[in-house]
Amino acid sequence: MIKIENLHASINGKEILKGLNLVVNAGEVHAIMGPNGAGKSTLASVLAGREDYEVTAGSVDFDGTDLLELSTEDRAREGLFLAFQYPVEIPGVSNVNFLRTALNEIREYRGQESISAKDFMSMVREKSAIVELDSKLASRAVNEGFSGGEKKRNEIFQMAMLEPKLAVLDETDSGLDIDALRIVANGVNTLKSDKNATIVITHYQRLLDYIVPDFVHVLYNGRIVMTGTKDLALELEEKGYDWIKDSIEA
């Protein structure tokens, strides 16, 4: 699905990713954990094509396509989805108008016909139920006045609508109470199939009780320094990150 090799990226001349390698196959869930400042959100931003970051070395192959050559919108059209850590409020743009525009631009890119208004609305009803999002929120302005939990549920709702090949969830658990966390995780699990894959970026192990990863990676100082199963997450929760730092620097 995605093969990241020796990825180096910097912002304002400061190198954050320092030779990151990661392979994710279809049907897999990978968790990326790490202390603050390790480069977790930078990885998400670089994959989505945020222009503030400069990729200085390395390659990213996304299902046979050179991801780094694509614009942000073309990455989304190829099937990459980033669930934002801080979803943006966009006053005046309705959720449904925004999603219909997105869906139709993606379909046009893939040589498919536009979705009819009727099919679109029934899709909205079906997908918003997955994350228990009130259908009234779907017709409101994008994220405007949404609670923290509603914003994150809206991210997963959009993911359900756009049906990506690879979803990158950037700290989706931050700021969520346990009910919202359960709903969001349940949404992600419902959307899981053997044809798509998920990268869950998180600081805490908590989310991984609900979204069970096949692999857990530890990102530290711009590189993946340790890979294990879900037990590694539990070990990190218990021992903290200092243990990793010490073992790397030793």
Partner 1 sequence: MENSNKLSQFSQRFAPTEIDALLPMGDDARAFIAENDFPTTKVERFKYTRLTKLANAVFEAQKQEVNLEKRHEQICPDSIAIYVVDGEVILPETSLPSGLAIDFISSAQNVPNSSIKDVFAALNTLHAQSGVRIKVANNCIIEPVIELVHVVNSSYAGFTRNHLSVGENAQAKFVLTYVSKHSNTGFSHVHTSIEVAKHAHVQVEKVQMESAENFSFSDEEVWQDADSVFQINTLTLDGHLVRNDLHIQVLGEHSETHLNGLYMLNGQQHVANYTTVDHQVANCQSNELYKGIMDDKSVSVFNGKVFVRQDAQKTNAFQSNANVLISEDASVNSKPELEIYADDVKCSHGSTTGQLDDEALFYLRARGISEKGATQLLLTAFMSDVLEKISVPAVKEKVFEVINERFNWDLSL
Amino acid residing at 227: T
Residue among 61, 60, 15, 6 at smallest CA distance from 38: 15
DSSP assignment of 145-175:
T--HHHHHHHHHHHHHHH--SEEEEESTTTT
Beta partners for residue 224, in sequence order: 219
**Minimum CB distance to partner 1 smaller for 158 or for 172:** 158
- What the block records as the tokens of 248 is 């790397």
Side-chain-side CA neighbours of residue 173 (13 Å):
20
Stretch that binds partner 1, among 61-69, 92-100, 172-180, 214-222 (CB under 8 A): 92-100
For residue 63, state whether it binds partner 1 (rule: CB under 8 A). no
State the minimum distance, in angstroms, from the CB of residue 250 to partner 1. Answer: 40
Q: Please, what is the minimum distance in Å from the beta carbon of residue 164 to partner 1?
A: 10
Task: Supply the minimum distance, in Å, between the C-beta of residue 131 and partner 1.
Answer: 16
CB within 8 A of 119, min separation 6: which ones? none
How many residues of this chain interact with partner 1, rule: CB under 8 A? Answer: 31
| Residue 158 Cβ vs partner 1, minimum distance, rounded to whole Å | 6
165 binds partner 1 (CB under 8 A): no
* Angle formed at CA 143 by CA 118 and CA 188, multiple of 5 degrees: 70
Report the residue from 6, 56, 101, 135 that binds partner 1 according to the rule CB under 8 A: 101
* 70 binds partner 1 per the rule CB under 8 A: no
d(CA 157, CA 63): 24
> Residue 100 or residue 217: which is nearer to partner 1 going by CB?
100
Tell me the closest approach of the beta carbon of residue 178 to partner 1, in angstroms. 27
Q: Which stretch binds partner 1 (CB under 8 A): 77-85, 131-139, 205-213, 241-249?
A: 77-85
57 forms beta bridges with: 8
| Concatenated DSSP letters of 88-126 | PPEEEEEHHHHHHHHHHHHHHHTTPPPPPHHHHHHHHHH
**DSSP H or E run through 230:** helix 230-239
Assess 248 for contact with partner 1 (CB under 8 A). Answer: no
Mark residues 20-59: x for contact with partner 1 by CB under 8 A, - for none.
Answer: ----------------------------xxxx--------
Q: Does 158 bind partner 1 (CB under 8 A)?
A: yes
Residues at the interface with partner 1 (CB under 8 A):
48-51, 71-73, 75-77, 82, 84, 87-88, 90-93, 97-99, 101-103, 105-106, 109, 141-142, 158, 162
